[in-house]
Each structure stands twice: as structure tokens, then as C-alpha cells.
Amino acid sequence: MKAVTIKQLKDELSHKSALELKELCLHLSRFKKENKELLTYLLFESHDEDSYIQSIKDQMDVLFSEVNTKSFFYIRKSIRKILTLTKKYIRYSKKKETEAELLLYFCKKLKAFRPSIKRSQRLQNVFDSQIKMIKKAIEKLHEDLQYDFHLELDNLLDNE
């Protein structure tokens, strides 16, 4: 079965009643954990972005504390898992401020991580690529927010 375009889905959904839309959403949430998580964000957490961001930061703290430091292979694997999870939560929000804040926090945690990421070129590359992503996200923000985030970013990069 081939999936149809977003426009076709939008047109078809516009013909459905509220009850039918509710049933479709519930049916969709049964199939994939991500669908259920997105629905949870949209219904319960999207109105309070600050607490959403804080809950993700708390989860990142826990995940960073559980990283297996026996070898850089395990560290890399765990760090990629944390980053993938963080990016998934960023996609739910779609807000550039959330993206910038969470990626900055990720980079701060990564930089403070012991053993140092400077001993692994691959981890250093992950850090560098996230810095580029942060810069792109900051460019799309309001000037006042850009200034604040640039200060945080400069502070992160100056401490190298």
C-alpha cells in the first residue's frame, strides 16, 4: 500500500466529523509509541513549554548518569541514544527556542562528561555538529532571544 500525500490526507480529514476524527486519533495512537507520545505532548504538555523542556532536561540528566564509561564505544552508543531521544522531543515541539535550549543543554552535558570527549574524535564530531545545529536554530529566533542564546553558546565554547 502506498501512502497518499499530506494534501490528500488534509482534504479527506476535512470531511470527517469530530467523533470520527477522535476515533482516527485513538486508532493511530495504538500503532506506534511515537504517535502516542506526540499526542500526549499536544494534549497535555504543549501549553506549558517550560515544564516540558525541564522534564526533558531531567531525563537527559538521568541518561547521562547511566552511561557505561568502560569504553568509548559504549559511551558513543549511549550519547547517540540520548541525542536521538532529544531530537525526537524537539520534533514534537517544533519551536526553535526549545530546539536551541535542549541542544545547548545536551552540549553542556557532553562537554562536562568524564572521560573527556576530546579523547574521542567521533564524540568531538557529535559535539561540533550539534553546535552547528544550535547556531542554525538561533538564527531563526527573535533578536532578543538570539542575544541570550548567543551568550550561552559563547559561554559554552569559551570554556574549552
pLDDT of residue 39: 87
How many distinct structural domains can be found in the chain? 1
Chain centroid to Cα 2, Å, comes to: 29
pLDDT, mean over the chain: 90
Inter-axis angle of helices 143-158 and 96-112, to 10 degrees? 10
Asked if residue 92 belongs to a domain, the reply is yes
Residue 121 has pLDDT above 80, yes or no: yes
pLDDT of residue 42: 87
At residue 128 the predicted structure's pLDDT band, cuts being 50, 70 and 90, is very high
Asked if residue 42 belongs to a domain, the reply is no
Report yes or no: 109 and 116 within 8 Å, Cβ to Cβ. Answer: no
Asked if residue 41 belongs to a domain, the reply is no
Asked if residue 56 belongs to a domain, the reply is yes
pLDDT in tens, 25-42: 888 888 888 988 888 898
pLDDT of residue 78: 94
Among residues 122, 116, 117, 90, the alpha carbon closest in space to that of 103 is found at 90
Asked if residue 58 belongs to a domain, the reply is yes
Asked if residue 82 belongs to a domain, the reply is yes
Q: What is the domain extent for residue 83?
A: 52-158
Residue 159 has pLDDT above 80, yes or no: no
Asked if residue 30 belongs to a domain, the reply is no
The Cα 109–Cα 127 span in angstroms is 10
pTM to 2 decimals?
0.86
At residue 48 the predicted structure's pLDDT band, cuts being 50, 70 and 90, is very high
Asked if residue 95 belongs to a domain, the reply is yes
Residue 160 has pLDDT above 60, yes or no: no
Cα 48-49-50 angle, rounded to 5 deg:
95
Report yes or no: 78 and 70 within 8 Å, Cβ to Cβ. Answer: no
Mean pLDDT of 130-155: 91
At residue 65 the predicted structure's pLDDT band, cuts being 50, 70 and 90, is very high
